[in-house]
Amino acid sequence: MVANHERGRNFMSGGTLESPIQFLKGVGPRRAALFERIGVRTVEDLLRRYPRDWQDRRETPDLSLPTATGSVVIRGRVLNARGQSAGPRLALYKATLGTARGKVECVWFKHMSRRFDVFAALKKEVKEGADLWIVGRADPDLTGIREVRVEEHYPLADERWRLHVARLTPIYALTEGLSPRFVRELAYAALETHADAVADAVPAALAAKRRLLAAPQALRGLHFPRSEAEREAARGRLAYEELLLLELAWILKRRQTRDVRKQYSYEIKRTLLTPFRAGLGFELTAAQRRVINEIFEDLRKPHPMTRLLQGDVGSGKTVVALSALLLAVENGGQGALMAPTEILADQHRATLGRFLKGLPVRVVSLTSRMPKKERAKTLERIASGTADIVVGTHAVLEGDVRFKSLRLAVVDEQHRFGVRQRATLRQKGHLIDLLVMTATPIPRTLALALYGDLEVSTIDEMPPGRAPIKTALAPESEAFAAARRAVAAGRQAYVVHPIIEESARLDLQSAKAEYERLRSEVFPDLRVALIHGAMSGKAKTKVMDEFARGEWQILAATPVIEVGIDVPNATVMVIQNADRFGLASLHQLRGRIGRGAAESACFLIADPRTPQARTRLDAMIATADGFRIGEEDLKLRGPGELLGTEQSGELSLQIADLFKDAELLSCARADADEILSADAKLLAPEHALLRRRLLGLYQSRWNWIDLA
Ligand code: ADP
Ligand code: MG
């Protein structure tokens, strides 16, 4: 490692942890602005900007073999070097490097410029006789690696190469305009001069009990580890700290909701509940009865309920939600049922119509596509209390909707309804009960970490009489033949075509083309309809209603039908390009069938090119159990992706991994509990730093945390 005093002199001119990074040498206003974009303003921010990965950059031992990743690290002397243009835009700089393992051609790619010499910097460092480290990529031919496309290079004459090569090298998430070389050197300089000033947020007693590394040591070990073991120890220490802060935040969040009192109370009158139950046409499962009891008990507490209802697709969450809504209505209040898409909202509206037939409950739907006049009328009914239950999208709780006496909001498919939205809801004066439902169940310990302000109820049983769904990877012909047989038996089938955000327009085109093919070539004798997300809400509703009534036999669809749709007569699901879907989506799609007693089958048409795609499809074939699928999905994608970037950002976890660090998590939870039961507002001097970090991390992310 480079000597301390030397680095310090090079980079620093004083300053503290709170100083703007412009204090660090080499950071002018332009670079400071670039850092600001990734949330790095102060020296401490920089130290807390952990590497996103580490690369093993020890010298590649054998150039005659391809490397596993295609990347190589070599060292040698420049034998000759020259720049050349390669077309109007592209310039190449080439150098022949003599290494201990033979000669290697190194190539740098540059954008051509007429205004300045694009090779100026290279000419200084990469010239005949210079000794260099090269980090780059190579496609070896039969005789081994001959040419390397250079990504980074470091002259041996400058000792700083030791930060970049021949080690476990930290890789930082960069923004354009900041080179990896610069960021690493700056991080190192900041560590050298300021790491020791970083005080431990974790109280000393706790650090001793858990045998934690000191913060400065952990930061050094994480940014510039000397071994894998050192990095792991450092990572564990800092992950624990993140988890401790998260658990503290959750406890405070929960306390915040428990401290408020509702302005109303519930009495189980059964004036609506009893006729509702009697008219269902089926018995509730034991699991449904249990969760309804949990919810009712919670509703009758003096503080607002915040509860998550987990249950696999088709487990019957809707009747549970309806029971809770009816309790609110029985008590003279209003309820709202919200879905992530308009199709699903329409479906809920239809379901409520069926289940509540003959009951004195007034249901209205509220959508963004309603004509102005009708919308105004509906808003007026909601405000005057002549509507009991409002069904709509999440927009129902935003903007201009005023309720006379809203008591319970039910949010379906909660993964798009994060902690921030929950806080906003409360802040808008909605001191109401909240029930969020998800069909992507996850293990309880994880649920506690991800949705720590929620109580969790789980439906772990399917309604009886469902024939299991067979799932298979199949050629198209087989899948279509099965669809045909189902139709011949009076059933219906879905054929789903993927649309992913990155290529949505092209995907939509091919979905339409595919529909044409199905209609005119594959099933010319059958009634085939198309539904896709770009259709107007009205058109979508029309097609869905017609399909539910059996007017269409085959429904060609995009993933708009992924959530909620309930047509028990549909028994075949064909998923095209199934390798392009995520596991949770596949499972949701499959959940559209198997809703009646008839045998159902799901066909995955795919040519999986990546191991992950293969794993997803294998998991689908191996199990139809949503809990196992959920777990597998978490393993494959990590909680961050599962939640979506917005919500993973909410948890503020840079390096802790809720899955891998389950044990740390439970330690952190116990410790957070202990800390707050001794010092409820973190006012003790030994908790001052914890308090500051906590507010810094979560106050704005979660709208607020109550520590006053
Ligand atoms: P999800 O949990 O996916 O939202 P739904 O509420 O849509 O599931 O229920 C799926 C289907 O099962 C619906 O047709 C619903 O009427 C039916 N269902 C719900 N509970 C039962 C039950 N206890 N017995 C039989 N069918 C049920
Ligand atoms: Mg549902």
**Model confidence pLDDT, tens digit, residues 685-694:** 999 999 999 9
Confidence class for position 9, pLDDT limits 50, 70, 90: very low
- Work out the number of other CB atoms within 10 angstroms of the CB of residue 431: 17
Tell which one of 276, 280, 282 to mutate to probe ligand 1, the residue whose CB is within 8 A of the most ligand atoms.
Answer: 282
AA identity, residue 569: N
CATH 3.40.50.300 for domain 469-623: yes
Distance, in Å, from the CA atom of 208 to the CA atom of 195, rounded to the nearest integer, reads: 20
- Concatenating the DSSP letter of every residue in 98-121 gives EETTEEEEEEEEEE--SSS-TTHH
Which residue is closest in CA terms to ligand 1's atom 19? Answer: 316
First to last CA, the chain: 46
Q: What angle is formed at CA 446 by the lines to CA 442 and CA 449, rounded to 5 degrees? A: 135
Joined together, the tokens standing for residue 48 give 């807390």
Ligand 1 atom nearest to CA at 319:
6
Q: What count of other Cβ atoms lies within 10 Å of the Cβ of residue 416?
A: 16
Indicate the helix (H) or strand (E) that contains 254: helix 228-259
CA 110–ligand 1 middle distance (angstroms): 61
Reported pTM: 0.74
> Using 50, 70 and 90 to split pLDDT, how confident is the model at 627?
confident
Q: How far is the CA of 566 from the centre of ligand 1 (A)?
A: 9
Between CA 406 and CA 388 the distance in angstroms is 9
Which atom of ligand 1 is least distant from the CA of 315?
A: 2
Domain 273-301+316-438, CATH homologous superfamily name and number:
P-loop containing nucleotide triphosphate hydrolases (3.40.50.300)
φ and ψ of 108, to 5 deg: -110, 135
Ligand 1 atom 9: residue of nearest CA: 316
Alpha helix (H) residue ranges in 26-73 = 29-37, 43-48
Asked whether this chain's domains 273-301+316-438 and 469-623 adopt the same fold, the reply is yes
- 350-397 pLDDT, tens digit per residue, is 889 989 999 999 999 998 778 889 999 999 999 999 999 999 987 787
Query: How many other C-beta atoms are found inside a 10 Å radius of the C-beta of residue 79?
Result: 12
Residue reference for tokens 């595919």: 514
Q: Is the dihedral of CA 243, 247, 252, 254 positive or negative?
A: positive
Nearest listed ligand to the Cα of residue 459:
1
Find, among 266, 293, 355, 349, the residue nearest to 319 by Cα: 355
Nearest ligand, CA of residue 351? 1
Nearest ligand 1 atom to the CA of 591 is 3
- Expressed in angstroms and rounded, the spacing between residue 462 Cα and the centre of ligand 1 is 8
282: amino acid identity, one letter = F
- Gap from CA of 589 to ligand 2 centroid (Å): 12
Fold assignment, 58-166? OB fold (Dihydrolipoamide Acetyltransferase, E2P) (2.40.50)
For residue 351, give the ligand 1 atom closest to its CA: 16
Q: Tell me how far the alpha carbon of residue 394 lies from the centroid of ligand 1, in angstroms.
A: 22
Higher pLDDT, 124 or 400: 124
- Residue labelled with tokens 């507002």: 681
CA 121, CA 617: separation in Å to the nearest integer? 50
List pocket residues of ligand 1, CB cut-off 6 Å.
282-285, 288, 311, 313-319, 439, 463, 566, 568, 595
**CA 285 to ligand 1 center in whole angstroms:** 10
**What separation in Å is there between the alpha carbon of 323 and the centre of ligand 2?**
14
Domain boundaries, the chain: 1-56+183-198, 58-166, 273-301+316-438, 469-623
Q: What is the pLDDT of residues 490-512, one digit of tens each?
A: 999 999 998 876 778 888 888 99
Measured distance CA(217)–CA(400) in Å, rounded: 53
Q: Which atom of ligand 1 is nearest to the CA of 412?
A: 4
Q: Average pLDDT of the chain? A: 88
Query: In the prediction, which pLDDT does 1 show?
Result: 43
The single-letter code of the amino acid at 177 is G
- Among 458, 455, 438, residue whose Cα is nearest residue 254: 455
Q: Which of residues 8 and 542 earns the better pLDDT score?
A: 542
